[in-house]
A = this chain, B = another copy of it.
C-alpha cells in the first residue's frame, strides 16, 4: 500500500495542512469507482491520528450510546451504497475568470465515486430511540479541529433516516484511509461533501441545525451582489443537495491533438435526479452532439460517465459540455451566470481549449 506521502504525490495538492488535493482528470475518468488513493481530499484541519481500539462514537439526543468500532460492525446490518461525493467548491477555478473568489482553486477533480460500506445511520438513530420530527436535525462532530473547535455540521432528520445515508467504515472494500475519515465517516449521498464528516466522534439529534461555524457560517450560497463584507450567513442558502454538473476529463486543457476524430470523455452528476442527456460541443457551444452514457445500475446517487467523438479540423477549439437532468433542467452557459464570492456550485458549461494540428 502506498504511504500518505506517496499518495499525495499522485494528486494535485492545493495545500498540505490542511491537506487538500484532487486527482488529474484523466486518472479520475479511468475508473467508475474512484480508487481511494485517487480520491480528492478536503480537510479543514490536521489529519487526526485515531486508533481502532480506543475510538468510540457517542450518540446523544435519545438514549445515550457509546459504541466501539467493533460494536458498529456487529450490531447493525451491513449496508453498501455506490455514491458520488463532491466538494461544494468543485470547479471553483473556473469562476476566477469573472472576479476573485475565496478558497482553494479546485479544478473539476474535487469529486469521486466509491462503494461505501458500513451501516444505515437510521438504524443507529432507531437504536438510540431519538424523537423524530420534520424540524429536527442530526448534528455530527468530528476529531479534526478548525480554529480550535471540533469540525461540526448537521443534516435534516429526514435525510439522516433515508436508506442511502450511511456511516461507513470501508471504501471500495477496504478500510478507510486516514485522509478519508478512518475509522468511520458519514456518507450522505447527493449532498455536498461538507455534510459527510470524516473521523466521527459524536452524533446528536436536536431541534436546530448545528451551531458550529462550519454549518452556521460557511458553505452558504450567496447572490452575485453579495461580498465578503456584506454576506449575512442567515440569509445565505445552506448548501445541502448538490446541483447538476458535468466536466470534460479528456482531452486535458491545452492538449495538442491531431485533426480528425477526437474522443471526448467525462462525467456528469445530477444529485437525486438522473442524467438523461449529455451534449458535447467542438465549437464552444454553437453546435452539439450527444454523448453515450454509462451509468451503474441501482446507483441513483452515483455519477454518469459519458463518451463522445468529435471531428475536429485544425485550429484552436473550445470543447464544451452540458448535461440535462430528469426534470429537463440544464446548466447555464457562463461562469458569470453562477458566480458568487465564495466560489461554490460552479455549474456552468465546462470548457476545454485544445489545439488541433
Contact = CB atoms under 8 A, between A and B. Distances in A.
A338 B221 CA distance: 25
Interface in A219-247: 221, 223-225, 237, 239-244
A248 B93 CA distance: 33
Contacts of A237: 276-277, 324, 326, 328
Given A243-B328, A328-B243, A337-B333, A223 B345 contact: no
Interface stretch (A198-206, A284-292, A303-311): A284-292
30 contacts: A221-B276, A221-B328, A223-B277, A223-B279, A223-B288, A223-B290, A224-B279, A225-B287, A225-B288, A225-B290, A237-B277, A237-B326, A239-B328, A240-B326, A241-B328, A243-B325, A243-B328, A243-B329, A244-B329, A271-B327, A328-B344, A329-B347, A330-B337, A330-B338, A330-B347, A331-B332, A332-B332, A333-B333, A333-B334, A333-B337
A325 to B, nearest CB: 8
A330 B332 contact: yes
Contacts of A288: 223-225
Nearest to A279: B223
Nearest first, the 8 closest Cβ-Cβ pairs linking A and B are: A241-B327, A243-B329, A328-B345, A243-B328, A243-B327, A237-B276, A332-B332, A271-B327
A326 B225 contact: no
Contacts of A287: 225
Contacts of A337: 330, 332-333
Interface residues of A, number: 37
A20 to B, nearest CB: 21
Interface string A147-184: 00000000000000000000000000000000000000
Contacts of A290: 223, 225
A221 B221 CA distance: 30
Contacts of A221: 276, 324, 328
A223 to B, nearest CB: 6
A271 to B, nearest CB: 5
A243 B325 CA distance: 9
Contacts of A273: 241
Nearest to A276: B237
Contact of A289 (B225, B289, B328, B344): B225
A105 B251 CA distance: 41
B276 A328 contact: no
A223 B325 CA distance: 13
Contacts of A327: 241-244, 271-272
A231 to B, nearest CB: 13
Nearest to A287: B225
